[in-house]
Structure formats: structure tokens, C-alpha cells
Structure 1
Amino acid sequence: MSASATPETATSDADGKPLLATLLHQGVYRIVMQRPEKMNALSREMMSALSAELTKAAEDPDVRVVVLGAEGKVFCAGHDLKELTAARAEADGGKATYEAIMRQCSDLMQQIVRLPKPVIAVVTGVATAAGCQLVASCDLAMAVDTATFCTPGVNIGLFCSTPMVALSRNVAPKQAMEMLLTGESIDASTAKDFGLINRIVPRDYLDQVVQKYAEAIASKSAHTLKIGKEAFYRQLEMPLSDAYDFAAQTMVDNMMANDAQEGINAFLQKRKPEWTDD
């Protein structure tokens, strides 16, 4: 985090320990999971805290880009297996709890995709199972060279079906199936080759590179970024001809926006645009 801004502590757990830390600096909103002793697992509390911060980021006009990171050697270990196991003692064997947890996780991942602002994952350790899903759900991902990724559910008799949704929308089918069927870890270089992450950055330069990368995106029109992100994910689910029809209409609507007019005029006049975000 930048030393020029003051971090804020976000939601705490039942013991009073902060689940997240946040920082807003020059339009970049950093959300850091800080439960390394629990491998930043996606417990129900953690997912609720993340969702609340994403909602806050979506509604704050000063936030233009979200950066999601974590403390410790594990970026995110996926679901909290102790929490899942404890639910087996319930009258229905845990079924209702499992349904609620899987729905909550699915909603969180879709919230990231539908957030009207870009979300960048910064991976400094292991991203496994739903943690790998979390990386895949973000719009962009950067990692240190020692980061690893896996969907190991098959090793414990639990196929990573929900991580599969995000993974299969980021990497080629055979590469996704390789990860899902073997449960083996892949290194950062392989993850980049697969298309799961964008860049590999030396740890010593990570904060500097991420901030520069995020600020470059934050300098664009927020209205244009919102239009573009929404259109990107919507057209992916369409047949080719429908996608072109949708994209063409999106371009027309975008051209009518004030920021498009300002951006084009600024380019022609060789000056920096002054965005009004509409």
C-alpha cells in the first residue's frame, strides 16, 4: 500500500480481528484480505466482508479501480473446510448450509464480474480452489513469480465445480480440465501461458507496478470503463451475429456519451481529456 495514504480497517470477525484492510489512493481502492492464519479462506464472514466492500466501491464515485490482494503466503485457500465440516452435525447433514455457502460464493463471484469498475487480483502466494476461482473472476490478475494456482478438490473427493465456471471462462477447455482433473498446482509462468493471469512481477516491485498499472486504468473515463466491462462479459455469452449486433449498438450508445465527445475532441486538439464520467 502507498505510504501517502492512510489505510482503513474494514469488517472484523467475531473475535474482533479485522478480516480486511482497505485503502483509497488516486482512484485505486485496495482491498486486502488479512487472515493469513486461516489462509484467507472464504468463510461466510470473509465473503460477506468482501461483498460489502465491493458494494461500497461500486457506489463511491472516487473509486475507479479495485485492487484485491491478501496478506501471507496464501492468497486464498478457497472455502473454509472446517466451517463446511462443522455443518455436517446439523439435522440435515449440512445440506442447507452448503447450499447457502455455495450461493453466497457464486453471488460474490458474479458481483465482481458485474461491478461497474475493473477489479485487479494481486496474487502473492497460493490461490487454490475457490481462491483460484476468485482470481479467475477478476477482470485482470497480476502475480509474483512464486505464486501457484490449483483446483485440488478432486484430491479430496470434491470436484471444483463452482471454480470450474470461472476457470473455464478464462483458459482453454483442455487446460481447465487439466487443472480440474489432476488437482495439481501450476506455477505463475504456466498460469500466464494458460491465460489465468496477465503479468508476472518481481515481489520487490509489486506494489509499484500494480499502482502504476491501476492508475493508468483509473485515468480513463469511468463511464467508458463501465460500458466496456459490461459489454465485454455480455457479448461472451452470445452467438457471433448477436454479439456484433449488441456491440454495434453499444458503440452507438457510447458515441453519444459526453466523455466520448470530449475524448475525441481532446485527441484532435492534442490535449488531455477532462472526463465528466457521463
Structure 2
Amino acid sequence: MAAVPAVLTSEWTKIRTVASTSWTLISALVVTVGLSAGLAALTKSQFAHLSELERATFDPTLVSFSGMVLGQLAMVVFGVMVVGTEYSSGMIRTSLAAVPQRATFLFSKIAVAGVLALLVGLATSFLSFFLGQALLGSHRTSIGEPNVLRAVVGAGLYMALIAVFSMGVTAMLRSSMLSLGILVPFFFLISQILSNVPKAKEVARYFPDQAGSKIMQVVPRAMGSDQVPYGPWGGLGIMLLWVAAALIGGYAVLRRRDA
């Protein structure tokens, strides 16, 4: 029986020695912080042109995370690569021969990658927040204001959960290309489009990205957004259910199918 510490060390070695995974995480940080900073500066310059509702529900904290929509793409790619590379390279056979306990193998991999994604996510959220607030000028808020720290930490959690969800989906599909072919359109086309369709948005608000992103809001109905029947923590809870379902599904497939 493989010892868990040894498996964790092995998975850490796999991740840190593959350049593409490191660069994907760096891209997540750089893209999110850079785009958020640019949009914060643009928001400041265009503040007078915002609608009355948008000014009344202006959420400077949420503006700091405007670049998250692209940053999460990098987290999706990272999550897919961590699991999918095992199948595309054929290493899954060697890995399972070394660690026949499939639950230990899968969840050690997800634990190591998840912690790494969380650290990068938190670094990204704090950098985005402080740089964004500096660029918002007189419209800024501070980390000590009510619920702001919760939103900043929540943004980091959101990025990590996107990566872990992607890992679970990839474990189910056993293919990087297929996983990316489903996850990227889902998050960046289907979810965004359905959230703006009158009837469909009643369902879309329970998608993992739509629900989970509410943790980044401080002001209710921020920037004139629609009211939802759950709060920030409720939204994060819905996202956690999606993540749990993906991980359970991934383990069920790994347990029942040959490498």
C-alpha cells in the first residue's frame, strides 16, 4: 500500500516539473491582475457615464475582479492538464501500478493541485484588489470595510474551485481535449449567454460559475445585476456542490474503468 505522504510528494514533483502547468498558473495571475487593473482604470474614467442604477449599486471590490472572467480560463486549463496529461501521455498506467489505491492516487493529485491553485488564487485576488482600488481613486474602498475581506478571500477560493471542478470533470472524461471542448464553451459561452436570456437565467443562476462568483460581491445587486435567491455564502455552497459532484463522478469512473 502506497503511503499518502509519498503519493503527495510524487504528485507535487509531477506538477512542478511540467513547465506548462507552472506557466498556466502564472498566466492566471498575470491576466487576471492586468485585465482587472485596466478595467478599474477604465471604470474610473467612465464613472460619470454609468447609469443611475449602476452608480447606486457600484461595488468597487467587484470591479477589482473584472479580469476574473479570463483568469478562470487559465484555471480551467490548469485543472484539465493536471489530470488529463496522465491519460494523454499514457502515464496513468504507470501511476496506477505504483499507487493501486485509486482513491489515494486521485485525491492526492487533486489535493496538491488544489492547494497550489488556492495559493495562486489568493495571491491573484489580493493583488487585483489593492491595485484595482488604487486605480479607482475616490471611488475605492478598503480591505477593512464590512464584507470586503470576505469577498477578496472568496475570489481566491473561487479560482481554486474552478480548477478543482475542472479536475473532476477531466477525471470523468479521461481526455484533455474533450474536457476543454466542454468546459471552455460552458463557462465562456453557454453560461454567459443563458444568464442573459429571461427564462433561461432562472436556471443559469445555479451554474457553478454564476453562483460561485457571488462570493466576490459586497454590494447586493452589484452594478445593477439581477437579484438572486441566495447570498454570497449560499452561492459558494452551490458551487461546492458542483465540485463535489464532479469529484465523486471522477472517482467513480476511475474506480470502474481500466487505465
TM-score between both structures, scaled by the size of structure 1: 0.27
Q: Which has the higher helix share?
A: 2
Greater relative CO, 1 or 2 (CA 8 Å, sep 6+): 2
TM-score between both structures, scaled by the size of structure 2: 0.29
Q: Which has the higher strand share?
A: 1
